[in-house]
Amino acid sequence: MQNEIKDGVFFGAVIQGQYTTIQLPPAVSPALSGLPRRTSTFKGRGRELREMSANLRPSTLQNEAVISVTGMAGVGKTELALQVAHSVLSETDWFPGGVLFIDLFGYDTERRIEPREALGSLLNSLGLPPEIIPDETQDRARMYRSVLQSYAEHGKRILVIVDNADSADQASYLIPSDDINAALITSRHTLSIDAEIYDLDVLKPESAVDVIQTVIRRYRGARDARVEREPAETLRVAELCGFLPLALQIAAALLADSSTRPIKSLADELADTLSRLDTLAREERAVRAAFDLSYRSLPKDQARLFRLLPINAGPDVSSEAASRLGGLKLRDTGRILESLNRAHLVEVGQEWGRWRLHDLLRIYATEKGIAIEKEDGRDQAVRRLVDYYSDTSESADWILRDRASKAECQRFRDRRGEPLEWFRVEEDNLLAASRLAESEGLFQSAYYISMHLGLYLDVRRRVVDAVEVASTALRAARRAENIDWQARSLNHLGLALSTVRRFGDAILPLTEGVKFARMAGNRETECDILIALGTALSRVNGPAAGITPLKRALTLGRAIGNPLHVGTALTNLGNVYRESGRLVEAAKAYGESIRYHRLSGDRRKEASGHSGLAVAFSQLGNFDTSLPHFEKAIEMYKSVGDQHGLAVTLMNLGSTYTAMTDLNKARNILHQARVCYRESHDPHGEGVTLLNLSFLERDAGNQKQSRAYFEMAQELFRAE
């Protein structure tokens, strides 16, 4: 028997020893393949749409064009693939064979399509009758690829879209093996397939707002001006949706349901984290349901760490902190986090080795964690985490204070880098950990984490945070009923308030701190507080008011034989002497302080002694004697990374060069001081520096520039 069919695309098959030729359809049309509609409210993916479309151009192909679109649930992977497919089909002739679309439902256990079933469906779409489609998966895959290749060789290039694949195994059978046809694969996982990856992030704020407006106007018409009337509230809704396209579409649809609903009402509703995921649901669409599909596919170890991660309330978490949180080995934690990252349930944080959760996923993971907190050991996880931050911040603080052993310094730096950098990266986590410890009744950890942050925040001039952590430490100390801790934290609070120039407010806690230090018998803390009290009193009541408490601190420091306390008391005593015009006594106090600070090994304190001595000599008119001390102070402040101390010293050096009438040097150095003040977040110091520049330019005859600096200084002082 011999059948002969002419024209079209031909594919040969052997059936019971007889040769027959089966005619395949001349094209696979979008209608035949069931390509879903694209939304009319698509926004914010212009670059990806252009690049992906261009990459599907036939002339650009070296091998088959395979593109993988990945990202978290709800980020818009399927929609982008559909936009690309509709675009290239309607605007080009690149795919005369048409498009094949199949949703594998890879994350839905009830609807998941296995490769064998998927291949059968696609072969049917390609025009093959069911009776010639083999039973085995491998046989179906060979036939599928052969048919695709036959189409390609006859000029009928096809685009295959494989949607919602959960693994490389599920998707790989469906990818063309020839070098002509193309494929788009979407997945919540980064799949191990030979493909160009487009890893989608959430939308930019302006695009997110555009989505909300477009959806509202799609259903309510251009006359709906709510977004224009409430731009700030629209942005707030977008932020509370985490700029996630699915959440934005749902939120916008909720607003479109009623033309009179204020956007603020939805923003206020979304602001409640306990009900936010409940709010982000409309009919069959829900953010929580989308997350459920990803979560259910997780192995037990990944699911547990995912549930525990929100306990770390900072912006991201290091692998080391996560390992302590989960009670796991660091190597195992890294493996789990990388798997969660491939599943787009966690993201890479500030750098590799740090991890973060999208805001909505954080809420979702918290819900899951609370539901089985005993099974996960949440209470123990909290304690492990705060202990980690307490222990590590203690080591970093000791290194900053030059009091750690060489072995301890090396061990810290080998694993975590320099302490200042570690504090910078972990600052928000440490603040969050101190609050967490306080809320969980772990008062010792709350106290110690807060206290260990003190010097770092002072060096970095994080003045608002310094007041917060000192207040946290004091609350924890009072809850623990620990007199010694109360004395120390009152000292830190007084110092923090003085740093933000609230000297009057600092006097009360410092006075109370002296009382508690004496009750605790802690003479070192009493000495510290007397030094701080002397400075605060001198600022409120004049320099002379600080002399008595500073002399008491000096006497006490000598009695306990602590060179650091003696040196600090002498430096501060030098300050009030200098401000009182007693310059010779000031120079003597500063000179003696340098000797004690060398004994204590505190280079930052020694730098302050050199800086003060330089100013005293300068005001005495001994410029040649003052300059070496300025240089020494600058060198030491740079070595310890104290930007604010450097700023003060540079400003005083600039004033010295002004007094020496070397205006060019003075101008250059004052500009450096201004930059340092700005970088150390001290607008008052920057304002004083601008005043000095104003006076310098006035004396130089540059009246216009002088007035400009003066007005800039006024602006900074008004903003304080």
- Six-digit token string for 618: 């300068």
Residue 64's pLDDT is 59
- By 3-state DSSP, what share of the chain in percent is helix, strand and coil, each rounded to 5? 65, 10, 25
Residue labelled with tokens 């895959």: 141
Residue labelled with tokens 């596919």: 297
Q: 284, exposed or middle or buried, with CB in 10 Å at 0-12, 13-18, 19+?
A: exposed
Residue 178's pLDDT is 86
Any residues with CB less than 8 A from the CB of 297 and at least 6 apart, and which?
A: 107, 166, 343
- The rounded distance, in Å, linking the Cα atoms of 686 and 338 is 45
The 10s digit of each residue's pLDDT in 627-643 is 999 999 999 999 988 89
Any residues with CB less than 8 A from the CB of 664 and at least 6 apart, and which?
A: none
Q: Coil, helix or strand for 440? A: coil
CA 202 to chain CA centroid, Å, is 14
- The rounded distance, in Å, linking the Cα atoms of 356 and 345 is 9
**Which CATH entry fits the domain spanning 602-720: 3.40.640.10, 1.25.40.10, 1.20.1740.10, 3.40.190.290?**
1.25.40.10
**Which CATH entry fits the domain spanning 298-376: 1.10.10.10, 3.40.50.10490, 1.10.10.60, 3.40.50.970?**
1.10.10.10
Q: Coil, helix or strand for 299? A: coil
Per the document, the length of the chain is 720
- The yes-or-no verdict on residue 62 having pLDDT over 60 is no
- The rounded distance, in Å, linking the Cα atoms of 55 and 477 is 63
Q: Where are the alpha helices (DSSP H) in 502-546?
A: 503-520, 523-541
- The yes-or-no verdict on residue 317 having pLDDT over 70 is yes
**Average pLDDT value for residue range 645-663:** 94
**Average pLDDT value for residue range 324-337:** 97
Share of the chain above pLDDT 70, in %: 93
- The rounded distance, in Å, linking the Cα atoms of 494 and 514 is 11
- The rounded distance, in Å, linking the Cα atoms of 200 and 288 is 19
Amino acid at 167: S
- The rounded distance, in Å, linking the Cα atoms of 137 and 214 is 45
Any residues with CB less than 8 A from the CB of 505 and at least 6 apart, and which?
A: 497
The contacts found for 370-373 with CB under 8 angstroms, 24 or more apart, are: 372/307
Q: Coil, helix or strand for 436? A: helix
Provide the residue ranges of all domains of the chain, joining segments of one domain with +. 30-199, 205-289, 298-376, 602-720
Q: Coil, helix or strand for 19? A: strand
Mean pLDDT rounded to a whole number for the chain: 91
Q: Where is average pLDDT lowest: 83-92, 456-465, 550-559?
A: 456-465
Instruction: Indicate the pLDDT class of residue 460, thresholds 50, 70 and 90.
Output: confident
Any residues with CB less than 8 A from the CB of 553 and at least 6 apart, and which?
A: 527, 530, 531, 534, 565, 569
- The rounded distance, in Å, linking the Cα atoms of 535 and 578 is 13
- Six-digit token string for 592: 């003696």
Measured from the Cβ of residue 281, the count of other Cβ atoms closer than 10 Å reads 14
Q: Coil, helix or strand for 22? A: strand
Nearest in space to 433 (alpha carbons), one of 424, 444, 445, 441: 445
CATH topology of domain 30-199: Rossmann fold (3.40.50)
DSSP 28: B
**Average pLDDT value for residue range 522-546:** 95
The 10s digit of each residue's pLDDT in 331-368 is 999 999 999 999 999 999 988 899 999 999 999 999 99
Nearest in space to 243 (alpha carbons), one of 195, 279, 280, 204: 204
- The rounded distance, in Å, linking the Cα atoms of 422 and 413 is 9
Greater pLDDT, 55 or 14: 55
The 10s digit of each residue's pLDDT in 6-16 is 444 545 443 33
Contact status, residue 577 vs residue 613, Cβ threshold 8 Å: no
Q: What angle do CA 162, 167, 171 make, to 5 degrees?
A: 30
Instruction: Indicate the pLDDT class of residue 401, thresholds 50, 70 and 90.
Output: confident
Q: 144, exposed or middle or buried, with CB in 10 Å at 0-12, 13-18, 19+?
A: buried
- The yes-or-no verdict on residue 408 having pLDDT over 80 is no
Measured from the Cβ of residue 301, the count of other Cβ atoms closer than 10 Å reads 15
